Amino acid sequence: MKSDMISLMSHELRTPLTSINGFSELLAVDENIPEESREFLQIISNESQRMSRMIDTFLSVTQLERADKKEVTKIALRLDEVAREAMVTMHPTARKKRIRLVEQAGGTIPPIAADKSLMTQALMRFWTTPSVTALSEPP
Partner 1 sequence: MTVSTVLEAEDVRVIVEDRGYGVPAESIDRIWEKFYRVARDGQEKDEESTGLGLAFVKEVVEQHGGSVAVESEVGRGSKFSLALPRL
Residues lying near partner 1 in the complex (CB under 8 A): 46, 50, 53-54, 57-58, 60-61, 64-65, 67, 69, 72, 74, 76, 79-80, 83, 87, 97-102, 104, 107, 109-115, 118-119, 121-123, 125-139
Residue type, 33: I
> Rounded to an integer, what distance in angstroms lies between the CA atom of residue 42 and that of residue 46?
6
Q: Which is nearer to partner 1, 30 or 67 (CB)?
A: 67
Q: Which is nearer to partner 1, 30 or 132 (CB)?
A: 132
To 10 degrees, what angle do helices 116-128 and 79-89 make?
Answer: 60
Shortest Å distance, C-beta 79 to partner 1: 5
Which H or E element spans position 69? none
Q: Which is nearer to partner 1, 5 or 102 (CB)?
A: 102
Shortest Å distance, C-beta 69 to partner 1: 6
Q: How many CB atoms lie under 10 A from the CB of residue 80?
A: 14
Residue type, 72: V
Shortest Å distance, C-beta 8 to partner 1: 19
Q: Which is nearer to partner 1, 17 or 122 (CB)?
A: 122
Shortest Å distance, C-beta 32 to partner 1: 28
Cβ-based neighbours of 40, under 8 Å, separated by 6 or more:
none
> Rounded to an integer, what distance in angstroms lies between the CA atom of residue 139 and that of residue 137?
6
